Structure 1
Amino acid sequence: MKKYVFIFLFLTVNLVSYGQTESPMKDFDANYAHTVYFWLQNPESHEDCAAFETSLKKFMDHSAYAKTKYIGTPPKASRDVVDGSFTYALIVTFESAEAQQKYQDEAPHKLFIEESSHLWTKVIVYDSTGI
């Protein structure tokens, strides 16, 4: 009997856990992922960080094409293979490469670059399509 109770609890926990992790990812579109890393000139400056975050969030709020919109900062590196040298990361997904190109050309994107490009020294972009 104890064995069946254990199996029931194990299955219940796994199903509940699966449901919790699946929900936030339902907006993720694996067709096209656009990952951008920014290195700010003055990453210790609270004013620069606030200006950058405000501009980036405004851009994400007004983008007509971006589906998943994730903005992050590097955690403390726990392994040698983790590059935590960037200041901000942006991960955006699109339904297609064409939608990503429209995102590049839309007014909110151009305004973000105009408002914030003076704040960064380096930007690296990694685009990928799902397999």
Structure 2
Amino acid sequence: MNETNRRTFLTATAALCAGTVTAAGPFPVAGKKYPVVHHVFFWLKNAGNETDRKKLIEGVKTLKAIDTVGELHVGVVASTEKRDVVDNSWDVSELIFFKDLAAQAAYQVHPVHQAFIKNYGHLWSKVIVYDATEV
């Protein structure tokens, strides 16, 4: 095997192993397990408005200050393959990991979360929440 093929093989193998480790176990993030996941999708009132999208992203990032939030990931629609099963109609998403249901419940009533709703709620027309727990 020449050096170029060897590097390609090793790079591909390392990527595959990293993906396997990431996918192993229930909701692992940064070496920790968070058995409760809170995934929220937002649709902007002004669809396609970049200023509103940036403002909402800024607001979602404030939720990291809540002490019961284990991990927070903020996302926008990815440019992936268009398929019937893929919903790319939303504008911003938040994915929050919690250590347990009590932590998620505390998050819901936390002043930072309530301030987020008050200060940024005018930006969205629709919100859908998917909560999941480890099985």
TM, length-normalised to structure 1: 0.79
Q: Which moved more, 1:107-116 or 1:45-54?
A: 45-54
Q: Output the CA distance in 2 between the equivalents of 1:88 and 1:123.
A: 10
C-alpha separation in 1, matches of 2:20 and 2:57: 27
- 2:76 corresponds to which residue? 73
Q: Give the aligned partner of residue 42 of structure 1.
A: 46
1:75-103 deviation per Cα after TM superposition (whole angstroms, max 9, x unaligned): 23512210000011111110100000001
Deviation per CA, 1:14-66, whole angstroms, max 9, x where unpaired? 3x332477479335634101110000101322221222111111222x11111
For residue 109 of structure 1, what is the amino acid of its counterpart? H
**How far apart are the structure 1 equivalents of 2:11 and 2:85?**
36
Q: Which residue of the other structure, out of 84, 103, 106, is the alignment partner of 1:99?
A: 103
The CA distance in 2 between the partners of 1:55 and 1:110, in whole Å, is 11
User: Which contiguous aligned blocks of 4+ residues in structure 1 show a shift greater than 2 angstroms?
Assistant: 9-14, 16-30
Match of 2:88 in 1: 84
> Which structure shows the higher strand fraction?
2
Q: How many residues align?
A: 123
Check conservation: 1:77, 1:83, Cα contact below 8 A.
no
- The answer (yes or no) to whether the contact 2:74–2:93 under 8 Å persists in 1 is yes
The residue type equivalent to 1:44 in the other structure is G
2-side partners of 1:127 and 1:40: how far apart?
21
**Could you tell me the percent identity over the aligned residues?**
31
Corresponding residue SS for 1:80: coil
Question: More displaced, 95-104 or 41-50?
Answer: 41-50
Partner of 2:112: 108
Q: Hey, what's the Cα distance between the residues in 1 that align with 2:98 and 2:29?
A: 14
